Structure formats: structure tokens, C-alpha cells
């Protein structure tokens, strides 16, 4: 999938948007691509089509992804 085809997540019209999703890594690199997607009031951290953990905040999701990347090396 081309970089221009990456999905966006915009909650401009929603007054209570909740946590926003984000991605880490290259879209075309299967081994190093992570996504944090909204799951209720939490963020689900996904890697290789599996939910690794549900985090309460964006910062805790980013910290978990960094720890998981270091463990894999």
C-alpha cells in the first residue's frame, strides 16, 4: 500500500472525540509497524494484526510500543 493511501482519523465534527489513533513505523514494513486505535475510552496497541495491550492514554501506548520494539531486537 502506498504512503498516500494511509487512512486518516479525523474527529473534527465530534465534540467528544476520545483518544486519537496513531501509527509508528513504515506502512510497508510489516515487522516494525504498530498502530494504536481507539477501543472505547482506551487505545488498543496492534502489531501484526494482534492486539498486544489496551492502554488508557496516548503516552502509555507510546511507551509500551517503545518497550516492545526494544524487546524484539
For the residues of the chain, what is the DSSP string, one character each?
A: --GGG------TT-SS--SPPEEES-TT-STT-EEEEEETTEEEEEETTEEEEEESSHHHHHHHHHHHHHHH-
pLDDT (tens digit per residue) in 50-68: 999 999 999 999 999 999 9
Structure confidence at residue 46 (pLDDT): 95
Rounded CA gap, 38 and 31, in Å? 22
Nearest by Cα to 58 from 73, 40, 43: 43
Q: How confident is the model at residue 41 (pLDDT cuts 50, 70, 90)?
A: confident
Amino acid at each position: 500500500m502506498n504512503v498516500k493511501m494511509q487512512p486518516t482519523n479525523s474527529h473534527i465534527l465530534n465534540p467528544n472525540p476520545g483518544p486519537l489513533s496513531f501509527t509508528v513505523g513504515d506502512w510497508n514494513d510489516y515487522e516494525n509497524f504498530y498502530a494504536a486505535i481507539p477501543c472505547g475510552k482506551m487505545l488498543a496497541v496492534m502489531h501484526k494484526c494482534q492486539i498486544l495491550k489496551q492502554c488508557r492514554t496516548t503516552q502509555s501506548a507510546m511507551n509500551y510500543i517503545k518497550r516492545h520494539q526494544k524487546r524484539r531486537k
